Amino acid sequence: MRGKTGCHYQDTAAMPSHRSDHVTILLASYQGAAYLGQQLISLARQTHTEWSLIVSDDGSTDGTREIVMEFAAGQPEGRVRLIEGPRAGATQNFLHLLDAAPDGAMVGFCDQDDVWLSDKLARAVAFLRSHDGPAHYAARTLICDDNLALLTESRRFSRPLGFRNALVQACMAGNSSVFNAPAAALLKSALPAARAVRILSHDWWAYQVTAGAGGALFHDPHPVLHYRQHGRSEVGRNDTIRAMGSRLVQLFTGDYGMWLAVNHTALQGARPLLTAGNREILDRFGEALREPGPIAARRLWELGLYRQTRPGTVAFYAAAASGRLSKSPYGLDTGGATG
């Protein structure tokens, strides 16, 4: 039923989900009026037309909600849904959206300030529909300034995607990520543990869970969206020498060790979802991080963990050897479950 505001209000369970190619787009919004309209127009121009949209707004006061409602009024009944966000930051808002998504459909994360290319969903669906088990699609992006003038393309990853990479690096950007229905169900099952420890990055967590469960992973070398860089971007570009150097330096700060600890605890809480082999890797990873620096580095090396670039991998092991990865205010929960 259509509300008085013009937005389509409908129970989540009633939103379209019966078709295997249907994608529920999950958009987290907060004070996004400056750019949101362009993003919504790009959704309407998708060549893959089997989609619905849930927008979770974190209390915007700049007209964001009104932009969503105006867009909804021009869409088919029930296609767009606006819900209240948890007001706890972008990551928690995306987890809130994932919880609100209907069962049985593909889901895709959406940033409020990007602009999608018209074939974004079509390319994702073409990959995802060919997999019966969990599958996770992500892609390269066109990095632009705030006026969408092209600056460069995001990096192409050359090393394999998988759990040994996912434990130490986020490679599947959330703004390009789409999951098939089995992967979406997997992430929903892992939500309680992620919320309990307040994970810091929803896209890194999603990569870890799908990889840990043995899901199919694909990083499309073809860019699928304009990734706008501006003063309020949640995450900055990582392709410049300066940016890459800054990220390598982060490996030696307590922040990176904290991220590893939080992610590890969230994964331990979802360990029944992982393959037996990856549960063993996760346990050994946690045990290694408890060891003194040189021993930690050796045990992590024995696990075969890697980042996508040689300098990044070298820096990771150097940080481990110096004891920086264990310097975290969070305790590592290595579980104790078997299997």
47-61, 72-86, 208-222, 247-261: the lowest-pLDDT one: 247-261
Residue 211 is inside which H or E element, if any? helix 202-212
Domain segments of the chain: what residues?
12-228, 241-326
Q: CA-to-CA distance for 250 and 293, rounded, in angstroms?
A: 17
Fold of 12-228: Spore Coat Polysaccharide Biosynthesis Protein SpsA; Chain A (3.90.550)
Q: Could you tell me if 36 and 67 are in contact, meaning their C-beta atoms sit under 8 angstroms apart?
A: yes
Both structure tokens of 323: 């004891």
CB crowding 21-35: b at 16 or more within 10 Å, else e? bbbbbbbbbbbbbbb
Instruction: Check residue 20 and give its pLDDT.
Output: 79
Position of tokens 């394999």?
160
pLDDT tens-digit readout, 83-124: 999 999 999 999 999 999 999 999 999 999 999 999 999 999
Residue 249 is inside which H or E element, if any? helix 241-250
Q: Is the dihedral of CA 90, 91, 92, 96 positive or negative?
A: positive
Identify the CA nearest to 260 among candidates 240, 288, 227.
288
Both structure tokens of 252: 């030696």
Identify the CA nearest to 204 among candidates 180, 168, 244, 179.
168
Greatest Cα pair distance, the chain, in angstroms, is 64
Task: Provide the 10 A C-beta neighbour count for residue 19.
Answer: 11
Task: Report residue 182's pLDDT band, with 50, 70 and 90 as the boundaries.
Answer: very high
